[in-house]
Amino acid sequence: QVLLEESEGGLMQSGGSLRLSCVASGTFRSIGAMGWFRQAPEKQRELVAKILSDGTTDYADSVKGRFTISRDNAKNTVLLQMNSLKPEDTAAYYCYGAALLLTGHSYTAWGQGTQVTVSS
């Protein structure tokens, strides 16, 4: 019903930048919140950033000021611009989207995940 496809992460230098994208496809009325979680070994999963359909954003304290999330509703796409990367940003990043299906039911879709590694 709903598919989220993430772009590739990669190996970056400290202080470098990387942009992740996530594109939703399938059958749905709309997508409300979209965003990114990340998971690093031996660490808790955390919400990195989210953005609502009206553009309202929220960021984890650890990335605020460095990361920027944006979306293009017409293209069902969400972007995460990551600047001033730090080794602590190393994690698997998972895109999510809260879809409103044609039935009126809600469904949270997840991307396949991508690894971002920041070298010290």
- What is the tens place of the pLDDT at every residue in 33-86? 999 999 999 999 999 999 999 999 999 999 999 999 999 988 899 999 999 999
Confidence of residue 103 (pLDDT cuts 50, 70, 90): very high
Helix (H, G, I), strand (E, B) or coil at 55: coil
Instruction: Locate 15 and state its tokens.
Output: 């202080």
With a cut of 90, say whether residue 30 has pLDDT above it: yes
Q: Which alpha helices (DSSP H) does 1-120 contain, by range?
A: none
With a cut of 90, say whether residue 105 has pLDDT above it: yes
Name the phi and psi angles at 73, rounded to 5: -65, -35
The predicted pLDDT at position 27 comes to 95
CA angle 20, 22, 27 (to 5 degrees): 180
